[in-house]
A = this chain, B = another copy of it.
Amino acid sequence: MYGAGDVRVEEVAEPTIQAPTDAIVRVTVACVCGSDLHPYRSKKAGERGTPMGHEAVGVIEQVGADVHDVAVGDLVVVPFGYSDNTCAICRDGFQTACPHGGFIAGAQAELLRVPQADGTVVTVPADVDPALLPSLLTLSDVYLTGYHAAFMAKVAPGKVVTVIGDGAVGLSAVLAARQMGAERIILMGRHTVRTDLGRRWGATDVVAERGEEGVAKVLELTGGEGSHVVLEAVGHMPAYEQAYGVVRAGGVISRVGVPQYEQAPVGFGSLFGKNVTLNGGPAPVRAYIEDAIPLVLDGTIDPGAVFDAEVSLDDTAEGYRLMDSREALKVLVRP
């Protein structure tokens, strides 16, 4: 990506093993993330492009000398963050904050270098039904990011859950909340095609209104008390404002939309006065991925249904355009 709206597919040098813990992965499927749209809309034009893409399923093509847990030929899911998965922070389940970790870049490509391969990638059966690859790909980021929101908010039976955002992460949060037993899930979104998938995945109410009107609607739906849990899957300030507007006293706002702000209201009038908990962050998908794979393989969940468009690697720019214009919910890229 050279700047806002400027995505180019170029031939570059193949990635090589730079540290003995690296692996090189030949990408089978990759995709465009909602968070990729932030620079797509705002990145300053520059002379050097930035390698894009951080979600992939692929085949290990080469491993460094210190990689022992995966081997050439393995089919793996690559989480969007790499981590050693052995340090105290990783053992706490917060691999995205691993002091030896970082974020994957350049997955929208044929070949991808994955640092800390042993602590990062997770193997899936090499003979998996290709129809399941899109769902496995969502374990790189999107589904397990929605899951992380619900996990941090301790969604459970009896909790009213409101999901803000009908993008792929928001819909994934609906699916995860339902999996955790929530019976009442209010989805705030206005794109019927998307909210229909949300309903299929467990949303019991859809609120198309935004801002104060949307807040009033959710309060009405919850007998004036608000929602025990709010999963914020957008990242912009109006979504944050909706979140503290609809949350119940003592409730939780869990954010997984990457915040496009640093400062936000947290004082008496927003969070403090109502004893609201705010949490969330970059999803440590590595902590959840091993439990999720069997659910995909046995059909319990089908998170890959978020993909409603597919492009070849050469057409990646068109993939961005489709998502930016909301013509597509989420675009698969097949190198």
Contact with B along A301-331 (1 / 0, CB 8 A): 0000000000000000000000000000000
Q: Residues of B contacting A277 with CB < 8 Å? A: 152, 277-279
A291 at the interface (CB under 8 A from B): no
Query: Which listed residue (B88, B262, B279) contacts A276, Cβ 8 A?
Result: B279
A275 touches B282 (CB 8 A): yes
Q: Residues of B contacting A146 with CB < 8 Å? A: none
A273 touches B263 (CB 8 A): no
A94 touches B259 (CB 8 A): no
- For chain A, the bracket of interface size reads 35 or more
B279 touches A275 (CB 8 A): yes
A193 at the interface (CB under 8 A from B): no
A265 at the interface (CB under 8 A from B): yes
Q: Residues of B contacting A267 with CB < 8 Å? A: 259, 261-264
Q: Residues of B contacting A94 with CB < 8 Å? A: 249-250, 274-275
In the assembly, what is the distance between CA of A265 and CA of B278, in Å? 12
**A242-284 residues at the B interface, CB under 8 angstroms:** 248-250, 255, 258-259, 261-282, 284
| A271-B281 in contact given A264-B264, A265-B263 (Cβ < 8 Å) | yes
- Chain B: which residue is nearest A253 at the CB level? B278
Q: Residues of B contacting A279 with CB < 8 Å? A: 275-278
In the assembly, what is the distance between CA of A76 and CA of B278, in Å? 35
Q: Residues of B contacting A281 with CB < 8 Å? A: 271-276
B97 touches A249 (CB 8 A): yes
A209 at the interface (CB under 8 A from B): no
Contact with B along A74-106 (1 / 0, CB 8 A): 000000000000001100111011010000000
Show 10 residue pairs from A and B whose CB-CB distance is below 8 angstroms, ordered by the A residue.
A89-B249, A92-B248, A92-B250, A262-B267, A264-B264, A264-B267, A272-B281, A272-B282, A275-B279, A276-B279
- A-B pairs, 9 with minimum CB distance: A97-B249, A275-B281, A262-B267, A94-B250, A277-B279, A259-B267, A278-B278, A264-B266, A94-B249
